[in-house]
A and B are shown apart, each in its own frame.
Chain A
Amino acid sequence: SYVLTQPPSVSVAPGQTARITCGGNNIGSKSVHWYQQKPGQAPVLVVYDDSDRPSGIPERFSGSNSGNTATLTISRVEAGDEADYYCQVWGSSSDHSGVVFGGGTKLTVL
């Protein structure tokens, strides 16, 4: 089955740029979606189809995807961005393996 690998944690100072990676075999050929989850809350979609933002998500959130790595970039990080972030793809169209989530990355704002 398809595996997505995220770093367990990323730390960044307020106002700086946070980059959260999501590794997978030839992930550049897939559409990657990113979710933010704060403690006790349901996940929120922040980036879809590699780099598009749903309405209401600040422009500070952006995404890219190429080769074996997809990246969620959060510019001008704010204290309110502290959360867990998960990447997601449809695993494989050939074996109907369904949806895959990365293990999640805890973003800490210093």
Chain B
Amino acid sequence: QVQLVESGGGVVQPGRSLRLSCAASGFTFSSYGMHWVRQAPGKGLEWMAVISYDGSNKYYADSVKGRFTISRDNSNNTLYLQMNSLRAEDTAVYHCARSMWGSKWLPCHSWGQGTLVTVSS
């Protein structure tokens, strides 16, 4: 059974950094692309970034390009999102999600419950 568990969220001041983690289990982590998707309070889903199964390809939303970095550790079945220069508008629940197939980016088949990031002074 696929399981994705995010951690690392919390309250952080504007301009500071935070690193989120997503622990994966129940599947061969190194065979699938992985995504980060966020949802601000009361708002819709916003895609953040995707990384290929081997970490060689990465794409980002314009809103976080240059500030956020997606990475993965296939030996530890963990996905990361390094978030720098955080802004109030980055406040959201951050979900990690697994691609349905190893050969395609989409769709996002399995999702974690998310971790809340609050950017506030």
Contacts and interface: CB of A to CB of B under 8 A. Distances in A.
A43 B111 contact: yes
A77 interface: no
B14 interface: no
A88 B106 contact: yes
Contacts of A96: 59
B111 A1 contact: no
Given A42-B112, A104-B45, A98 B50 contact: yes
Nearest to A44: B111
Interface in A87-105: 88-90, 96-104
Contact of B47 (A45, A54, A84, A100): A100
Interface in B91-118: 95, 97, 100, 105-109, 111-114
A45 B61 contact: no
Interface string A19-59: 00000000000010101010001111100110000100000
Interface residues of B, number: 24
A97 B47 CA distance: 11
B111 A42 contact: yes
Interface string B41-56: 0001111011000000
Given A1-B62, A48-B100, A99 B44 contact: no
Interface of B: 35, 37, 44-47, 49-50, 59-62, 95, 97, 100, 105-109, 111-114
25 contacts: A33-B108, A42-B95, A42-B113, A43-B108, A43-B111, A45-B100, A45-B107, A48-B100, A54-B100, A86-B45, A88-B45, A88-B47, A88-B106, A88-B107, A88-B108, A96-B59, A97-B59, A98-B47, A98-B49, A98-B50, A98-B59, A98-B61, A101-B37, A101-B44, A104-B45
Q: Which 4 A-B residue pairings sit nearest by Cβ, starting from the closest?
A: A33-B107, A99-B47, A42-B111, A104-B44
